[in-house]
Structure 1
């Protein structure tokens, strides 16, 4: 475990870089990954866009665009602070559960897209039709499990030790 400030700083930079690489490998913009990586390590409830730009080593413009997209995904939210102009960016301590909750919209849109192709392309051959039926049914099936997945996640969180009591 890093002992000095220099080692910790280097580890933070490496963590953000590696997280961004993983994020990008899933087809998401690397800047979004750098922002999420930075926010995961932040000890503050909410930070400014400027702090994100500095910490994630991203341009202010790309931070703005990325924050909007991350907000849509459920990873961050903008919060007002009394007496302060503008909003701060906050990441919930359970961003992953929030992502799971917001994923339902994606699944339903994909399901509806597949169904619209099935409805509007009656002459589609058996191979394409089979792919679309599987797409629609997979999205329907997975959407049906979201309630169960979320309930199991909440149960798991309730059973585990608090974050400060877990071994490092």
Structure 2
């Protein structure tokens, strides 16, 4: 049973969560409709959708979905597939290592920030207040990069440990 077929109260609960999660994603920089589509695909029970099914599930127009799925395919959150004999694309949440891939992209962004700040330090120097602030920024970004990279590297083992602990509890 897809969520579209679920009882009205279950659908309303799902959509309330989707809107709440999408708002947090938007505040983190994701565009509104991709945030809603991603939150829906993550929380809904189905594992693949047509654009029409996403539009129906989110209660939006199909036109609103096309740009959102295009962006989510580009960043690797959704995969576009097609079933033999059909004309509609299917969108599948690529949930294998989703958050480690997402964090890997964030690590790249952190590295770019670190590089730009380091170049600023070279230009300004650390003798001036602005240069000292940039130096602290660089150190914080380097620290954050190290911690996140370590967390990504440790996650497969940690995921297994948590799954074992969860199934025992």
Q: Which bin holds the TM-score, normalised by the shorter protein? A: 0.7 to 0.9
Quick one: distance in 2 between partners of 1:70 and 1:138? Answer: 30
Alignment partner for residue 163 of structure 2, among 124, 138, 161?
161
Task: Confirm or deny: 8 A CA contact 2:114 2:142 kept in the other structure.
Answer: yes
Number of residue pairs the alignment of both structures matches: 162
Which residue of the partner structure matches residue 111 of structure 2?
108
Quick one: distance in 2 between partners of 1:7 and 1:63? Answer: 24
Are the structure 2 counterparts of residues 102 and 134 from structure 1 closer, same or farther at C-alpha, using a change threshold of 3 Å? Answer: same
Shift of residue 106 of structure 1?
1.0
Structure 1 unaligned regions, length at least 5: none
Structure 2 unaligned regions, length at least 5: 1-5
Quick one: distance in 1 between partners of 2:75 and 2:136? Answer: 25
Quick one: distance in 2 between partners of 1:111 and 1:61? Answer: 39
What is the TM-score of this pair, normalised by structure 1? 0.74
Q: RMSD between aligned alpha carbons?
A: 3.2
Are the structure 2 counterparts of residues 87 and 128 from structure 1 closer, same or farther at C-alpha, using a change threshold of 3 Å? Answer: farther
Alignment partner for residue 92 of structure 1, among 87, 94, 97?
94
The C-alpha deviation readout for 1:24-54, integer Å capped at 9, x for no partner, is 2334323222112210123333222332233
Alignment partner for residue 42 of structure 2, among 40, 43, 46?
40
What is the TM-score of this pair, normalised by structure 2? 0.73
Are the structure 2 counterparts of residues 12 and 158 from structure 1 closer, same or farther at C-alpha, using a change threshold of 3 Å? Answer: same
1:9-158 equivalences under 5 Å are 9-71=11-73, 73-85=75-87, 87-93=89-95, 94-119=97-122, 121-122=123-124, 126-158=128-160
